Structure 1
């Protein structure tokens, strides 16, 4: 009887286990049938529609401060590598400038001696900095899939976790539902013993911008995926504006146009990317603003120049309006030639006014002198007549005074 009970027990366990294995769809290979339903998706090359013809597929959802990322790609050996590839990596980033110059990166490594692993890192220009605490504490629910041609991984990133490392805090880009992002996906070889990522062999980036929404993002996922596919089929992009049947041109001074909006280069902002941030160093806050401004700039975005010596900031342009004789980008320069030019200009302006002032004064002086001489001649003539009882011509008196002078 004991064997019968054991058989019934194992049969019961088997019946419980069969549904989970037989009726639950495996996560890998990733497909695109869930896009717009429970996931937002992106795939490359444009127009691919399955794991068979897509080089890479990325799916994600954001719910309760947790970002679930699923990515899959054909191994870099399938891209024509010169030698067999051992350890390799794939990485995903959401970037606001399409360059991944200062952004958080989610990576999966395959074939390393310690086994497959996931990590969070930070791209500082061409350097990739692993974030040790963030990788250990923020990543959970890891799944990996390795095959002859395709590798895949799925991870959850918990944004509710408070990092203790201040340096890593600054390097975690806070994704939200308001901003628009480019998707960047890269692959490359890695050192088998250390997991050190070598320079990428391939990079893909989305031509359209995406948003990272909360749990109610299914509708957006459907729109994003439909837009991506429709755009490649020649459809009109949503969000565009037309006037008199013609599309209005948008000129981005330091960026490019995406979905009828300007996407600015690193450290530029504004509706047309017309303003530049002058940050000190390469570190940025979570909202991409400067940690500290350069010496000669201030403001929340470090875009306003410090004008010295009475200079004023231009109302529209990022420059100082300097009072003479000061010059330079910040009105800090005082040149000898500028000083001479300034006072010569002042003299040139005062000259005509001086002439107009001096001529009336000279005329008044002349008239006063003339009247004084006439009065002097009259006094002498009167005195002479009273003393000598004789008259004398005023002309003779005037000539005698002139000779005496």
Structure 2
């Protein structure tokens, strides 16, 4: 009996009470435990949690070392148009950039002391002629292509196509406020009507004078208009 009591005391000294252990766990962890859990099962769970955290910490320490190791290995794929030399890319002729990914658009084969171009092909600029010039748009510095403003198009946004122009202004007119659109259209319609009426009168007068000179008699303007336009 005495030996059994001593074992119980020893277990109580080694294994803390459930209330003491519960302060080390989150409510979500304790909710997964069965109602009949024992202090020993909590210790096993605690031991597994500690080992997992230790593995995570070791992984965080090893990860930077692996990154440095990979970066230090020779990698020919990093130079798109060139090769690695002394840890840097040596670009092939006609290419530039940190990984030799930009094409140089030099006008001639002559180069400056720094390896740049003496002159650029029209549409390209900078010392190495590797930046595109967009006349009516903005360049995409990654792909070196122009994002043109409508209705412009072309490689350098300097071209105008009739279909694009019509489409652009039709869309612009459709998006206008109806009141503002009517304010613009009504005066224009009046001007067109006035010009058309004045043109018809002038034409009738010319025909009238021509006929009068031919037949040697006066003609009524209404008869001439009826002859030309089918109405008085």
TM-score range, shorter chain: 0.3 to 0.5
- By percentage of residues, which structure has more helix? 2
Which is bigger in relative contact order (C-alpha 8 A, separation at least 6)?
A: 1
Q: State the TM-score, normalized to the length of structure 1.
A: 0.25
